[in-house]
Amino acid sequence: MLKIKNLHVSIDGKEILKGLNLEIGAGELHAIMGPNGSGKSTLGYVMAGREGYEITEGSIEFDGKDLADMEPEERAAAGLFLAFQYPVEIPGVNNAYFLRSALNAQKKARGEEEVDSMTFLKTVRESLKQLKMDDTLLKRAVNEGFSGGEKKRNEIVQMAILQPKLAVLDETDSGLDIDALKLVAEGINRLRDPERSFMVITHYQRLLEHLTPDHVHVLSNGRIIESGGKELAERLEKEGYEHLKTEAAEA
Ligand code: ADP
Ligand code: MG
Ligand code: MG
């Protein structure tokens, strides 16, 4: 599903990712952990095609296509979904309209028929209910005045509506209380499917307790310095990152 080879990314001429390699197969959930400033969000942004993030070397292949050749809209249409650490507010655009437009834009790009409003509302209400979110959030402007937890849960609603092939979730767990964290984890687990992959970027092990990642990677200073199973996340929780960084430096 995703093949990242020797990826180097610079922002304003400063190299942030320094030779990152990562492969995610269909149906797999990979967790990316790592200290602050290691380049986790940069990886998300470069996959989204955000301006200013320059790939100076290496490649990102998504579902057999070179991501660098695709416009951000084409990436979404191809089934890539990204939830960012700081979800944007879009004043004046109501949430239901936004969700439906995003879904229909994706359908149009794929040559599929648009969803009618009844079907759409039924799906989105179901999803809101599962995440214990109020229906009134549909009528409000996207993320405007949403609490931190509501914004994060709203991202999961978007993901459930768009049914991506690969979802990249950047710190979707940050700032959530235990109940909201469980709802978000359940929302992700409901979408797990042999055809769908996840890259879950997180600082803490607590989200992973509910998700059971297939692989855990540690990103430090622009590179993956360690990969393992679920037990790696548990070890990091106990030992912190410093220990690993020292080991990597010595190697
Ligand atoms: P993480 O998500 O792992 O905390 P980031 O990807 O946000 O790390 O940041 C990695 C590094 O890139 C940091 O040193 C940060 O200061 C730097 N960085 C991020 N965005 C920019 C930017 N727009 N301009 C310059 N440096 C940036
Ligand atoms: Mg950070
Ligand atoms: Mg970050």
Nearest ligand, CA 42: 1
Give the pLDDT of residue 162: 92
Give the pLDDT of residue 213: 95
Which runs of consecutive H residues, i.e. helices, occur in the chain?
40-48, 72-77, 95-109, 117-130, 148-162, 178-191, 208-211, 230-239, 242-250
154 Cβ neighbours under 8 A, 6+ residues apart:
87, 95, 133, 137, 142, 143, 146
Rounded Cα gap, residues 5 and 196, in angstroms = 21
Q: What atom in ligand 1 is closest to the CA of residue 52?
A: 23
Q: What atom in ligand 1 is closest to the CA of residue 219?
A: 3
Give the pLDDT of residue 2: 98
Residue bearing the CA closest to ligand 1, atom 27: 11
Q: How far is the CA of 170 from the centre of ligand 3 (A)?
A: 7
Give the pLDDT of residue 145: 86
Residue bearing the CA closest to ligand 1, atom 21: 11
Domains, the chain:
2-250 (3.40.50.300)
pLDDT tens-digit profile, the chain (251 residues): 999 999 999 999 999 999 999 999 999 999 999 999 999 999 999 999 999 999 999 999 999 999 999 998 899 889 999 988 777 788 888 989 999 998 998 899 889 999 998 999 999 999 999 989 988 888 888 888 888 888 889 999 999 999 999 999 998 888 888 888 999 999 999 999 999 999 999 988 889 999 999 999 999 999 999 999 999 998 888 888 887 777 777 77
Q: Structure pTM? A: 0.92
Rounded Cα gap, residues 39 and 25, in angstroms = 22
Give the pLDDT of residue 57: 98
Residue bearing the CA closest to ligand 1, atom 24: 11
CB count in 10 Å sphere of residue 91 = 9
Q: For 195, which DSSP code?
A: T
Residues with CB under 6 A from ligand 1: 11-12, 14, 16, 34, 36-42
Best of 9, 10, 11 to mutate for ligand 1, by most ligand atoms within 8 A of CB? 11
Residue bearing the CA closest to ligand 1, atom 23: 11
C-beta of residue 44 within 8 angstroms of C-beta of residue 230: no
Describe the chain by its helix, strand, coil percentages, rounded to 5.
40, 30, 30
Give the pLDDT of residue 251: 72
Residue bearing the CA closest to ligand 1, atom 1: 37
Rounded Cα gap, residues 93 and 78, in angstroms = 24
213 Cβ neighbours under 8 A, 6+ residues apart:
29, 30, 31, 200, 229, 230, 233
SS3 of residue 56 by DSSP: strand
